[in-house]
Structure 1
Amino acid sequence: MAQKFKRSYRFAVRTSLYISFFLAVMMMLFMYFEIDFSIPWLILFVFLSYLFTFMIIQFRVERFIYRRIKKVYDNVSLLDSTTLSPTQVTTDMSTLTQEVKKFAEDKKLEIETLKVREAYRKEFMGNVSHELKTPLFTVQGYILTLLDGAHKDKAVRKKYLARASKGVERLIYIVRDLDMITKLETGDLHLRYETFDIVKLIEASFDLLEMKAAKKNITLTFDTDYEEPILVRADKERIQQVLTNLIVNSIKYGKKGGTTEISIENLIKNKVIVRVTDNGEGIEKENIPRLFERFYRVDKSGSRKEGGSGLGLSIVKHILEAHGEKIYVESVFGVGSEFSFTLEKSEEILETHAIPEIT
């Protein structure tokens, strides 16, 4: 009972003792110097008593509240007491309430972020599992069939081995793309900057994908004739990969007999913007924010038939971010899509070569 009394009233007892001690000392000084309690001296005594009492109560209350709140922080594992300082705790309850509210909002935001990350992790693991499972099971099926005796038929053996080889190639493709994204995110993939003509690079990409586009009768073209070179400074090999992925994407979702058009325009003094436009399926508005996620597919069934690792746009985004550049997307469902990205112009052409201005 005595312990309970001590804990409940220790603050009040000590504060009262400090005030009583101060008043006693003041009275002794007045008596020692035989000061007559006239009006001026009485006012001084009251003022000093009030000032000391105010200061000691304020200090004691703030310290009392701080210790109690810190104890709550220490007792609850989710709370970090290192974020709490004595200056944050005052006798002003509105200030204290704001601090607690701010803490609660911060923790709520952290929890929501963790939930989003956990959901993304689960979805990502499911996507990886699905993408690897399909070619693995395909390869396994053909090999088991051959082991069961189909290898004796030369025609069947050759056909099944060719199909198994395609499954292995798809696995390598997925693993290679995943490895590239990991390197880009961790900074292990170093970019080799050089000056090159972006027009020539686009033409090379057109030549590379001409046959793929011809299968759907899609025309690969520029918006205009670029007679002069447009020099940019970047990693040529990686920018070719960006162009290839974007053009392949436009062919994959383009309509038969459609067009994939590329334009190059001035953005600001030292930047150009490259636009890849198609008149294909287009993308529904709710899918646009997730386009650059790993393995995210707008068409869950049809796009798989077209092949690819499902990592193309994610790689494009990471390569451009590694260059310090941006990628943008605009699309109208049923009309077509436009992917555009920025590049740094080479200093050699800032004043000499003309590029169409954005209107």
Structure 2
Amino acid sequence: MSVFLYFFFTLKVLPVIGFGLYCFAFSFIVIQFRVERFIYKRVKKIYDDLTLLESTSFSRGPITTNMATLTEEIDKFARNKKLEIETLKVREQYRKEFLGNVSHELKTPLFTIQGYILTLLDGAMDNKIIREKYLKRASEGVERLSFIVNDLDMITKLEVGDLRLEMEDFDIVELVKNVFDTVEMRAHKKKITLTLDMNYNAPIMVRADKERIQQVLANLVINSIKYGSEKGTTEVSIENLIKNKVIVRVTDNGEGLDAKHLPRLFERFYRVDQSGSRKVGGSGLGLSIVKHIIEAHNEKIYVESEYDVGSEFSFTLEKAE
């Protein structure tokens, strides 16, 4: 200020003004540079800290000192991380349930087999009637273990895309009748009638993996028999959906399901009956396999159910050209 006043009173006005503007510009540039460097260092530290959390968008993007842009990026980062954490929590819960279900499903037949074999080794082997009875039950336990392992292998291949589909043209009506023939004895035990909704005089040709679709139909029909009412009915219908699609419906008048079970019905090992003693057996993987097979065909599966009324499972298939 002293220098400025000296020049103001002793020199001309214009040089003084020029000198003042020069001092202002110089001070502004120095201060701006130092402030930007200060902010840059602080912002860069934020970027470095976020990069440690493996945020690829931050590690690849340029560093900005614009506070609005930075705030937007941080908010976006925080939302993504929150979503990832919530997803991980859901997966962790699913993993715990899955391991618990696998343990339960394998433990039951293993303990059964072990109990019968130990009883035989403890002396019951000398009794022919008991020996045959216990060996038969142990064999049934081994068979159930085999079903569970095969189903797990199947669903793993479906999930990783390792199962190749053998696409071919075939008559879906004939396939339904074949499935009815294979499960006829099961239905007879509960006096359940297996029927088509009408007489199909002409074949309905579809394009899919015949063996896998037969597995889908068998699973759905067997489920309808398991949970169907005595002297009930399981009906299969095949309808045109759109120009190049048909929809296959499997309907029963069994016990039905509450709406709360429907969202999780296709999960592995999910059971409506959560009690330790279940009314019906099975690996608990059937519906999950059905869903994966249908999705492997790029098709859709649907379920509708009402408690004490019945259930309907339906899936789409592509028509043969």
Give the TM-score, by structure 2 length: 0.86
C-alpha distance in structure 2 between counterparts of 1:103 and 1:68, whole Å: 18
Structure 2 counterpart of 1:249, from 215, 219, 223: 223
Aligned position for 1:271: 245
Select which of 101, 120, 127 maps to 2:75.
101
Cα distance in 2 for partners of 1:277, 1:103 equals: 48
User: What per-residue deviation string (whole Å, max 9, x for no partner) do you get for residues 291-316 of structure 1?
Assistant: 00111001234984322111000000
Work out which of the residue numbers 275, 281, 294 in structure 1 matches 2:255.
281
Corresponding residue for residue 18 of structure 1: none
Deviation string for 1:225-283 (max 9, x for gaps)? Answer: 11100000111000000000001111111111111111111112111110111111111
Q: Is the 8 A contact 2:301 2:314 kept in 1?
A: yes
Alignment of 1:115 onto 2:89: yes
CA distance in 1, matches of 2:277, 2:270: 10
Q: Which secondary structure state, in structure 2, belongs to the residue aligned with residue 267 of structure 1?
A: strand
User: Which of 209, 219, 236 in structure 2 is aligned with 1:235?
Assistant: 209
> 1:82, CA displacement in angstroms?
4.1
CA positional deviation for 1:83:
2.2
Q: 1:62 to 1:176 in 2, by over 3 A?
A: farther
Contact in 1 for aligned 2:44/2:63 (Cα 8 Å): no
Aligned to 2:8: none
- Corresponding letter in the other structure for 2:177: E
Residue 318 of structure 2: aligned partner: 344
Compared with structure 1, are the counterparts of its residues 326 and 303 closer, same or farther at alpha carbon in structure 2 (3 Å cutoff)? Answer: farther
Residue 125 of structure 1 corresponds to which residue in structure 2?
99
1:102 positional shift: 1.3
Q: Is the 8 A contact 1:252 1:303 kept in 2?
A: no
Structure 1 counterpart SS, 2:183: helix
SS in 2 for 1:340: strand
Percent identity between the two aligned chains: 70
1:225 counterpart = 2:191:
no
Give 5+ residue unaligned stretches, structure 2. 1-12
Q: Which runs of 5+ in 1 are unaligned?
A: 1-35, 348-359
Are the equivalent residues in 2 in contact too, given 1:270–1:344 (CA < 8 A)? Answer: yes
Residue aligned with 1:305, SS? coil
Cα gap change, 1:179 to 1:227, in 2 (>3 Å) = same
Backbone CA RMSD of aligned residues: 2.7
**1: distance between equivalents of 2:176 and 2:268?**
25
Q: Secondary structure at the match of 1:261?
A: strand
CA distance in 2 between counterparts of 1:146 and 1:174 reads 25
CA–CA distance in structure 2, aligned partners of residues 304 and 111 of structure 1: 35
Matched, 1:89 2:55: no
Quote the residue 1:74 is aligned against.
48
Is the contact between residue 73 and residue 80 of structure 1 (CA under 8 Å) also seen in structure 2? no
Deviations 1:300-333 (A, max 9, x none): 3498432211100000011111111110111112
Against the structure 1 CA distance between its residues 128 and 79, is the aligned structure 2 distance closer, same or farther, given a 3 Å change threshold?
same
Q: Assess if the C-alpha contact under 8 Å between 1:88 and 1:99 holds in 2.
A: no
- 1:178 deviates by 0.3
TM-score (norm 1): 0.78
Q: CA deviation at 1:186?
A: 1.4
Alignment deviations for residues 148-184 of structure 1 (CA, whole Å, 9 cap, x no partner): 0100001110000000000000000000000000111
1:232 partner letter: V
Question: How many residues are paired up?
Answer: 304
Cα distance in 2, alignment partners of residues 181 and 323 from structure 1: 15
- CA separation of 1:189/1:81 partners in 2, compared to 1, >3 Å: closer, same or farther? closer
Task: Quote the residue 2:3 is aligned against.
Answer: none
Contact preservation (8 Å) 2:47, 2:63 = no
Secondary structure at 1:281 match in 2: coil
Partner SS state of residue 248, structure 1: helix
8 Å contact kept, 2:43–2:65 = no
